[in-house]
Amino acid sequence: MKVLVAGAGLAGLNAAWELQKAGHVVEVLESNTRVGGRCWSDTLPNGEIFEHGGEFIDVNDHTLRRLCAEFGLPIVGLGISFDRRWQVDGSIMSPEVLGDHIAALAAAAERLAASRGYRVSLREVAREAYGPDYEKLPYCQKLFATTTCDPDQINGIAIARMFQGHAKSYVEHRGRVLAGNDAVAREIHRRLGDVVRFGTPVVEVRQADGQVTMRTASGAEFTGDAAVIAVPLPKLKRLIATLDLPDLMRKAIEGRVMGAAAKLNIAVSGEAPPKGIQAPNAPWWSWSTAAPEGCDVARGSLTSYAGGRATMASLKLEEGPGHWLDLTRAYRTDLTVSDDCVLTNWGTEPHAEGAYSMPGLDWEPAQDRVFDQKAGAIAFAGEHTRFASLNGALESGARAARLLTLI
């Protein structure tokens, strides 16, 4: 079977690789000039590797961890807590309090679901869980920043259920691939061989007579027996215009919301002990990470992260990194913050048109399994079809490959 794959992020690459291993011929069409998509590593002038996009690898990210083990890519601990952030007054919530906050959100979500049904926003669930001052609560600030979307536009019940497991099994020790997370994408690409066509954005997908055709921006057409569509959500919403999809699948795609986020990666001189600190009176944070023991890699970087368009607007990103850099330097007095920095604004990045996605207000539980089926000879992959993470993208690619190879 010949399979076309749109998108060479982790989802599309993993789908292509699983299909190729199963003996199928794959051709991957990618709009950008590199593989990896939102998994994109780079180097600061001081030699420090940083992540423009997906960074933290969770303990339960089994597919990603298994691939790293197979590829001989060490994952190093970042040495900071992700859900518990230091405050500028030197306080940090205990793991027990964190567990209580997560459990309170889940309980509030279920109360609201029972009384009102599923159409409840994240803001409504947070207010129900934490009372009128919910926005001042560090956990709530973290939650809103991490979801990267307007809390009025995304579904609080779906999101509370998504994070519920963390209440009992939360482990702080998240990691990152020592060589940069995108080493995973580059290694899959190397093993795939010369099957990725770069600078080839797909603008239309059609299927008829057992064949799938992808038309690209240049007008060229590619045909296969089946296809995986693994482009980011805003692109997918445009591509499905010409496709016949089950109603629930169309609703799941159209109703999902793409969020926006930005990162400022900054070189610091001297020692940068690992610490993640919330910005004072603002819903963004910054972290310095641990030097991996015994590893001869440069260290000394700080990452500021802002999730959501409202927070990003307050940082004046359209004028460049200056304002955000000043704000970061003003409160990270524990570090010597240089002027060497790289700003990545995922709100304006053309290939993804956002950071990652969340279930929209009209989410309903049945949507969670909707991508476990094909639409004709097309399977869908990407973080928006599974879980908004590096691991979720990889898993979605493996699932798409499985769907296409099942008789």
Residues that bind ligand FAD (CB under 6 A): 6-12, 29-32, 37-39, 53-56, 201-202, 230-232, 235, 261, 263, 346, 351-352, 355-356, 382-383, 388-393
Cβ of residue 124: shortest distance to ligand FAD, in angstroms?
A: 25
CB of 270 to ligand FAD, least distance (A): 26
Q: How far apart are CA 180 and CA 74, in angstroms?
A: 10
Residue 56 CB, shortest distance to ligand FAD, in Å, is 3
Q: What is the DSSP string of 268-308?
A: EES----EEEEPTTSS-EEEE-PPPTT------EEEEEEES
Cβ 198 to ligand FAD shortest distance, Å: 9
The size of the chain, in residues, is 407
Buried b (16+ CB within 10 A) or exposed e, 184-207: bbbbbbeebeeebeeebbbeebeb
Nearer to ligand FAD, 113 or 303 (CB): 303
Nearer to ligand FAD (CB atom), residue 100 or residue 204: 204
Smaller CB separation from ligand FAD, 68 or 231:
231
Q: Quick one: 6 or 268, whose CB is closer to ligand FAD?
A: 6
Angstrom distance (rounded) from CA 111 to CA 88: 34
Residue nearest to ligand FAD (CB): 9
Count of CB atoms situated within 10 Å of the CB of 208: 8
* Whole-angstrom distance, CA of residue 344 vs CA of residue 87: 25
d(CA 205, CA 193): 25
Q: How far is the C-alpha of 149 from the C-alpha of 275, rounded, in Å?
A: 25
Closer CB to ligand FAD, 62 or 116, in the complex: 62
Q: Give least dist CB 131 to ligand FAD, A.
A: 29
Residue (151 or 175) nearer to ligand FAD, CB: 175
CB of 184 to ligand FAD, least distance (A): 10
From the CB of 332, what's the least distance to ligand FAD, in Å? 19
Beta carbon nearer to ligand FAD, 61 or 128? 61
Pairwise CA distance, residues 212 & 224, whole Å: 5
DSSP state, 250? H
Query: Could you count the other beta carbons within 10 Å of the beta carbon of residue 321?
Result: 22
